[in-house]
Homo-oligomer: A and B are copies of this chain.
C-alpha cells in the first residue's frame, strides 16, 4: 500500500536525481494522472521523498505527519524552505506552473490526500484559505529562527505536538536545519528539556518509541 510512492533510501540532502521504484515511477513522474491513483490517500515513512522540484504531479493535503520543503538557494545548495503539517496543502504551485517548486520530504510518518478533494472547486475560498494558511505558517517558521535557541526548539516542538501533547520529532539534523542551529545544540537542548521534565520520552510497551515524546502540559504556553 504505502510502497506506491516510496523513494530509494537513504534520501540524500541534495538529490540530483530521484531514484524511484518501478511501480512508483509512473505515478509520480507521469504526466497523466490515473484516476484510481489521484483519489487514493498516500502514506510516507520518515525520510521518504514525496516529490522533487521540477517534477510533475498533483497537489496534496496533509492529513498527518510533517513534510519538509527545500529549494535551491542561489548558490546551488538545497536549503530548508518551509514546513507543512497536518491541514496544509503542498505542491499546489503545480496547478499554476505545471511542476513542483520545492523538494518535499517526510520528516515523520505522513498521510496525504490528493487535493483538491472531490467536488471542492480549485478556485475561490479553498485557495484563499490556503493562502492565508501559508502566510500564517510562514510567520510561525520565521519565529522559529529568532530568539534564544531553547525557545526556538520548544517553539518547533509545540508546533508539531498534537492537542494531547504527543510529538514525533524529526531527526536532530532536520530540527537544526529548521531552526538554524547545530545538531549538537539541538541534542543539548532536548536533553535539558527532559531534565526539566518539559519533555518525556514516550514509551510503548516499555520501550522508547523512536523520537516520540510527550510535552508537559505546562510547556504549551
B-contacting residues, A113-127, CB 8 Å: 122-125, 127
Q: Are B142 and A82 in touch, CB under 8 angstroms?
A: yes
Q: Are B131 and A93 in touch, CB under 8 angstroms?
A: yes
Residue of B nearest to A180 (CB): B146
Please tell me how many copies of the chain the complex holds: 2
Residue of B nearest to A123 (CB): B123
Chain B residue contacts of A123, Cβ below 8 A: 123-124, 127
Say if the beta carbon of A128 comes within 8 Å of chain B: yes
A97 to B132 Cα, complex, angstroms:
9
Say if the beta carbon of A64 comes within 8 Å of chain B: no
Q: Are B143 and A142 in touch, CB under 8 angstroms?
A: no
Chain B residue contacts of A142, Cβ below 8 A: 80-82, 138, 141-142, 145
A154 to B147 Cα, complex, angstroms:
21
Chain B residue contacts of A13, Cβ below 8 A: none
Chain B residue contacts of A128, Cβ below 8 A: 92-93, 95-96, 127
Chain B residue contacts of A221, Cβ below 8 A: 74
A96 to B127 Cα, complex, angstroms:
10
Say if the beta carbon of A185 comes within 8 Å of chain B: no
Say if the beta carbon of A188 comes within 8 Å of chain B: no
Q: Are A79 and B143 in touch, CB under 8 angstroms?
A: yes
Chain B residue contacts of A129, Cβ below 8 A: 96
Between A and B, 6 residue pairs with Cβ closer than 8 Å are A93-B128, A93-B131, A93-B132, A95-B128, A135-B138, A146-B180
